Structure 1
């Protein structure tokens, strides 16, 4: 089994995420399901996961998943510096936030954690660049104009890479990944709450493998 820690000696966190171009966005109600979910996702070919701080189980789920050397585990929906500390202490290797918070970005940088803040406008992208960041989350992608909006924003910001999340699915996956500025897409269809609640790990693996295969030609 290839170690993500070993990979990070030669690859940055964005490059590891870009290896499969899919970043599952997970909402776990019960941390005890984390090991099975991690196993299902890696069996489907994924290398990275975003565990959101939308539930009380997030930190423990991150801790359990981070024990796997073949999975890069990050924390999502991080809204405060305190949550940055929780994520880092649990073993998260990167942080994602829905919007641009100078306090969150600064604290991530102080702790040496790569951070991908949400940026929906040219102003927010310039704020990210001012903070030394060149990879941002574009959220909620479909509601903000989807592929067309990303292309428009990418034109003046040629160094910026986007991780569109929100409304991305198997039907529009290729359209998003066909944009050169898109690093990867965030998605939930392979980790839908109903699948996780029912413990349908084989189905998670099947959907994950199909997503990874669909992303490859793009």
Structure 2
């Protein structure tokens, strides 16, 4: 059964702006593709029902993701009948995508409170699908209809949330044209998850392609480079160690503690975190982590302003870099990007 609500799934698709879709029969290869998508920033992924016993592969993928990538939302695509929708929902699909609109599939999804993204190519189909509870409509085939179709539909129907599929290229020009036309997201298959990359085992190339496409979505939307404060860090003193500081915040406010190698992270149900560093640093009481939408662009922006940066730290699920200068209060500052 789905573990997330319809609102949570549709909000995440809209937030990211990119929904990768693919089919692969080998379970281990599927895991690597999903990992590449997730590490590139696409935390919602569509697995298509296009092979014999594809639902077995999907079931294994769901179990693996629950352990390795619990923040990834998996759904099933190429669903054209209610029995297939029910099968995949019971395998753990959080959303169902189809190349066409089938009212019976909509009923099945509504019964389980699961997101249904049907394929439509006319304003009438879009309206009928929305009446049956579809919050996001897949515009298919997008290469035939073009970005102008979305713009024209949104004129009289600004409430519609339309996502092109089939014909969206992995280029800044193509993605920008769809997003600027009003698309809520883009649904990309072989132009994103390139078969030659999969065959060569070059999953790093897929990750970089996913990351680039998400950056182009953000640029088209006009997303700011600097999004806000991701966390604030406190450094221990000679009189108070890190555990005492972390325990104080956990006891007073009920925050959850997660211990790492160099620090203890405290968080609640809302946004924003407190990091307690394990080791003191002379002359430093704290540091501020500024969350950015595009790591490389943010670094270049600061460099152009004459701000000097330390050597960046780049890992699979995070990128960070400290400014060489402190803020006026003596706090260190670093940028942080999480796909």
TM-score, normalization by structure 1: 0.89
Query: Structure 1 residues 143 and 154, CA, compared in 2 at 3 Å: closer, same or farther?
Result: same
CA RMSD of aligned residues (A): 1.8
The 5 A counterparts of 1:86-101 are 86-101=87-102
* Residue-by-residue CA offset, 1:146-171 (whole Å, 9 max, x unaligned): 11111111122221100100100114
* 1:157 has 2:153 as partner: no
- Which of the two has higher C-alpha Rg? 2
What does residue 84 of structure 1 align with? 85
The 5 A counterparts of 1:141-156 are 141-144=142-145, 146-156=146-156
* Separation (CA, whole Å) in 2 of partners of 1:86 and 1:200: 32
SS at match of 2:181: coil
Query: Structure 1 residues 9 and 106, CA, compared in 2 at 3 Å: closer, same or farther?
Result: closer
* Separation (CA, whole Å) in 1 of partners of 2:5 and 2:131: 26
* Residue-by-residue CA offset, 1:157-192 (whole Å, 9 max, x unaligned): 221100100100114111101123x11001122212
The 5 A counterparts of 1:1-150 are 8=4, 12-56=8-52, 58-66=54-62, 67=66, 68-144=69-145, 146-150=146-150
Q: Whose helix fraction is larger, Structure 1's or Structure 2's? A: 1
What does residue 173 of structure 1 align with? 175
TM-score, normalization by structure 2: 0.59
Q: Which runs of 5 or more structure 1 residues have no equivalent in the other structure?
A: none
SS at match of 1:128: helix
* Residue-by-residue CA offset, 1:19-75 (whole Å, 9 max, x unaligned): 220111112132231221121111111111111111225323332333231211111
Contact 2:136 2:163 in 1 (8 A): yes
State the aligned residue count.
210
* Separation (CA, whole Å) in 2 of partners of 1:172 and 1:110: 37
Work out which structure has the larger RCO, using CA pairs closer than 8 Å and 6 or more positions apart in sequence.
Answer: 1
* Separation (CA, whole Å) in 2 of partners of 1:85 and 1:132: 17
What does residue 197 of structure 2 align with? 195
Query: Structure 1 residues 57 and 215, CA, compared in 2 at 3 Å: closer, same or farther?
Result: farther
What does residue 209 of structure 1 align with? 211
Query: Structure 1 residues 10 and 118, CA, compared in 2 at 3 Å: closer, same or farther?
Result: closer
Q: Which runs of 5 or more structure 2 residues have no equivalent in the other structure?
A: 221-339
**Cα distance, 1:9 vs. partner?**
6.9
